[in-house]
Structure 1
Amino acid sequence: MLMKLRSLSILRFSAEAGKSGPKLCFDKFWAFMLQVASVQLFTATILLLSYSARLIIPDMNPEKHKITSNLMQGEFEMSMMGELSFFLVHQIKQRKDEIFINQAKYIKEKLKKFGLENVKPQATPMSSSIKLDKDAEGKCVDSKLYRSMIGSLLYLTASRPDIMFSVCLCTRFQANPKESHLKAVKRIFRYLQDTPSLGLWYPRDYTIDLHAYSDADYGGCKIDRKSTYSTCQFLGNMLIYWFSKKQNSVALSTTEAEYISASSCCAQGLWMKQQLLDYEIDVGTIPIKCDNTSATCFTNNLIQHSRTKHIEIIHHFIRDHVSKNDIVLEYVDTLHQLADIITKPLDKERLWKLRRDLGLMDLS
């Protein structure tokens, strides 16, 4: 099944429409779409994003676009701002067959703010051999500056999954940052200096095929030996969701770490599947690709083995959904594990390959 994304337009509601508060204004708009325009407009709106008093909707054909404008202008006081090109520091380039999103302008502003616009570029955001710890004997640095830099980088992860792991690792030391931590943060900015225009590429034609990658770095944290787990999810060949997080408990085996990661990925995948069902799109069974054979086999083994009782029961719900055919865990070799890029630091060759596979490109 192929779908074609239309050009994006942005509507700006007037202060009069939102004087009772953004939430009440949005509730009023939501009720209007459901009651008045649900069949004709709402189901045709595949992408809907609201922020305060601003709304992004897909452009339709001229006839439907006119109907949309007349219906909404009769209910709300608003202005049409034309084709979307900039939204919340995200630059959006729309071409005939693709949409490209990046934060190049924001990156340049932050490099200038922190006096790093002339630093020597780096090919990777973090050395593949680095192991950050509390560095108890290291020299303390300005915590306010460190947190400001971290905050700027966290906002960039909305379009740059390639820096997700490095940024999340550095956030763990905000309470008492040392010189080694600040050096790691500056290394990320030096990488951004080398790739300011890198962003996410979305083709207008794609298949409705929801699939995910799940990975874990067993005992990767040098401080408490907790594992870092990550997932990235695709709709067709388009990256639509990613995260990286340290697990809450210490895993006693690689299988446990990978199994917990797959369980978290399963929960997010089921949520995404339900969202698509609201638009009458059934994606069927969701394949989750994992590079651990034991974890993959574990989901299909309904017998509780004595060696696996230490794994938290809350993570076993993935078995239920495997038996219901909602998801299926598939083995993928480590070389093709795309979630590696948000699980651990990588060397240049591997990082650049995974960037391309995720759909990160530099149109310049």
Structure 2
Amino acid sequence: MGFVSFEMRFSHLNSICTVTRPGLQNPTRGKKSLDTRWVFRNKQDDSGVIVRNKACLVVRGFRQIEGLDYTEVYAPVARLEAIRIFLAYASYMNFTVYQMDVKTVFLYGEVKKEIYVDQPPSFINSKFPNHVYKLDKALYDLHQAPRAWYATLIDHLLQHGYTRGTIDQTLFIKRQDNDQIVVQIYVDDIILGSTIEALCHEFQQVMKKRFEMSSLGEMTMFLGLQVKQSSTGILLHQGKYVEESLEKFEFKDAKAANTPMFERPLLSSDPDGEPVDQTHYRSLIASLMHLTASRPDIVFAVCQCARHQANPKHSHLTAVKRIFRYLKGRPKLGLWYPKNHEFDLYAFSDSNYGGCDIDRKSTSAGCQFLGDRLISWQCKKQQTVSTSTAEAEYVPASACCSQVIWMQHQLLDYGMNFLDTPIFCDNEAAIQIMKNHVQHSKTKHIDIKIHFIRDCYERKLIHLESVHIDNNVADLFTKPFAKAHFDVFVAMLKMILFDDC
């Protein structure tokens, strides 16, 4: 057939399925069998050359009924912030990050429930055309497949002395004397790093005992993030995707912009503006949202434009085009994680009081660092209208506290304990509200979920510190700036050009 992966995948079907024998009672009586389909795909390299033709047998899992064909199907997936913490820790510990891939990952999971599937199209047994397969292991697109795979993987690693993270269930650590190996798993993609190379080789052998693996060498791309490792640090960027997006939406020859957004006028609903194609507008926003995984400099502008996807106007499209023109001027910009540097946890919190002209709601912003390494950032419109600047600043401080507490627990698995983490806020009134439990007219209406920051403060998990507004990095996620001020904040985020690392 010309598909190199076809024979392996089809032969694997015989090992995971049992065909019913003639003369036995039909096991599907009172039950339904799921039909199957072949999926063909051409795998290309970075230059677009076809390197492999693949065929995969999949189940039409959308026909499964919850409660009848499956119950619990949850499978843990690593957060993007967890990946950045992993890379930040690797840069701090000065070890190389390697990458591995599991072939036909979902075919290893063992199915607990009784499931039947039809014979594959074009491969129906002429002697028993009405018989079906009973699955012993999962197939692609089966609702149980991800959960079954993780259960199989977890059991295998625990048997070989690896410890599972208490917060991040996709993180595995093994310690040997003064050395350790850290493994992060995202479905079939695995990244690992160790203080000694021997532990990395041992992990590869452990995985190859049970699964068919491919070693990809040093980590270069993971979840759409390009990773450049050097002797001085690790650079995270999406340069290739920026170039592809500029070419896809015909911005290659556009005039470059200095900032992602104009300072004035502020973006509004523009009820009298000229409507634009909604599909095209949403496609532009989707590409930009994907870029925010490594480009915090465009987060505020993208969030502002994303609020108008339901009824986009020409003014909104102009704002989106400016973001692309900004990317045209700075396509090679990424997050820099230096090696052998300080590794203290701290955060910034800020707010733009009544920043939305439509409903007068404020915009919350925050960002968290490990030393000079930016780990996560937030930009979100608040759910309620704040009646004072103190309240507007207090809400994002509480949200920032939630992220800090999660990072504290995540870092405990790495053996690092960060208590009394500083959160820098440029509003003295918000700091006093956290310290003062007396309720008065300005604070009694604030929701309990916001006040939980007081409990974290009393337990000495965090504390708020005053910072001058010019030094508050989170301010970048609350409003547009002129070029001079904007460049200062980008530098504070430790974003550099690819050629500078």
By the TM > 0.5 criterion, same fold? Answer: yes
SS state at 1:306 partner: coil
Q: Is the Cα–Cα contact under 8 Å of residues 227 and 236 in structure 2 kept in the other structure?
A: yes
C-alpha change, 1:72 and 1:291, in structure 2 (3 Å) is same
Q: Which moved more, 1:277-286 or 1:22-31?
A: 22-31
Question: Does the alignment pair 1:349 with 2:484?
Answer: yes
Give the letter aligned to residue 455 of structure 2.
Answer: D
Question: Does the alignment pair 1:42 with 2:166?
Answer: no
Length, aligned pairs only: 363
Q: Which moved more, 1:332-341 or 1:296-305?
A: 296-305
Q: Which moved more, 1:275-284 or 1:232-241?
A: 275-284
**Pairwise mapping of residues 51-70 of structure 1 onto structure 2 (< 5 A)?**
52-70=187-205
CA–CA separation in structure 2 for the residues paired with 1:199 and 1:3: 18
**Pairwise mapping of residues 127-146 of structure 1 onto structure 2 (< 5 A)?**
127-146=262-281
CA–CA separation in structure 2 for the residues paired with 1:18 and 1:359: 42
Q: Is the Cα–Cα contact under 8 Å of residues 215 and 230 in structure 1 kept in the other structure?
A: yes
Give the letter aligned to residue 267 of structure 1.
Answer: S
Give the letter aligned to residue 363 of structure 1.
Answer: F
Q: Residue 241 of structure 2 aligns with which residue?
A: 106
Give the letter aligned to residue 33 of structure 1.
Answer: L
SS state at 1:212 partner: strand
**Pairwise mapping of residues 151-300 of structure 1 onto structure 2 (< 5 A)?**
151-300=286-435
SS state at 1:132 partner: coil
Question: Does the alignment pair 1:9 with 2:98?
Answer: yes
Q: Residue 56 of structure 2 aligns with which residue?
A: none
CA–CA separation in structure 2 for the residues paired with 1:103 and 1:137: 37
TM-score of the two chains, using structure 1 as the length reference: 0.95
Q: Is the Cα–Cα contact under 8 Å of residues 237 and 335 in structure 2 kept in the other structure?
A: yes
Q: Residue 82 of structure 2 aligns with which residue?
A: none
Q: Deviations over 1:334-362 (max 9, x none)?
A: 00000011111111111111111111110
CA–CA separation in structure 1 for the residues paired with 2:397 and 2:447: 13
Q: Deviations over 1:6-28 (max 9, x none)?
A: 21211111116645233422332
CA–CA separation in structure 2 for the residues paired with 1:60 and 1:17: 31
Q: Which moved more, 1:95-104 or 1:52-61?
A: 52-61
Q: Deviations over 1:223-269 (max 9, x none)?
A: 00000001100011100011100000000000001001101111111
CA–CA separation in structure 2 for the residues paired with 1:108 and 1:87: 18
Give, in angstroms, the shift of residue 300 of structure 1. 1.0
Q: Which moved more, 1:260-269 or 1:303-312?
A: 303-312
CA–CA separation in structure 1 for the residues paired with 2:249 and 2:384: 36
CA–CA separation in structure 2 for the residues paired with 1:280 and 1:290: 28
CA–CA separation in structure 1 for the residues paired with 2:435 and 2:155: 44
Q: Which moved more, 1:68-77 or 1:340-349?
A: 68-77
Instruction: Write 1 or 2 for the structure with the bigger share of helix.
Output: 1
Q: Deviations over 1:291-342 (max 9, x none)?
A: 0010011111122223311222221111111111111000000000000111
Q: Is the Cα–Cα contact under 8 Å of residues 133 and 223 in structure 1 kept in the other structure?
A: yes
Structure 1 alignment gaps of length 5 or more: none
Q: Residue 33 of structure 1 aligns with which residue?
A: 157
Q: Is the Cα–Cα contact under 8 Å of residues 367 and 378 in structure 2 kept in the other structure?
A: yes
TM-score of the two chains, using structure 2 as the length reference: 0.70
Give, in angstroms, the shift of residue 90 of structure 1. 2.2
Q: Deviations over 1:113-151 (max 9, x none)?
A: 111110000010001123111111111111000000000
| Structure (1 or 2) with the larger CA radius of gyration | 2
CA–CA separation in structure 2 for the residues paired with 1:74 and 1:160: 39
CA–CA separation in structure 1 for the residues paired with 2:277 and 2:181: 47
CA–CA separation in structure 2 for the residues paired with 1:168 and 1:74: 46
Q: Is the Cα–Cα contact under 8 Å of residues 181 and 199 in structure 2 kept in the other structure?
A: no
CA–CA separation in structure 2 for the residues paired with 1:16 and 1:115: 37
Q: Residue 146 of structure 2 aligns with which residue?
A: 22
Bigger RCO (CA 8 Å, 6+ sep): 1
C-alpha change, 1:34 and 1:286, in structure 2 (3 Å) is farther
Q: Residue 214 of structure 2 aligns with which residue?
A: 79
4+ residue stretches of structure 1 with deviation over 4 A? Answer: none
**Pairwise mapping of residues 310-349 of structure 1 onto structure 2 (< 5 A)?**
310-349=445-484
Give, in angstroms, the shift of residue 85 of structure 1. 1.4
Give, in angstroms, the shift of residue 49 of structure 1. 4.2
Q: Is the Cα–Cα contact under 8 Å of residues 93 and 100 in structure 1 kept in the other structure?
A: yes
Give, in angstroms, the shift of residue 46 of structure 1. 4.2
SS state at 1:205 partner: coil
CA–CA separation in structure 2 for the residues paired with 1:34 and 1:287: 36
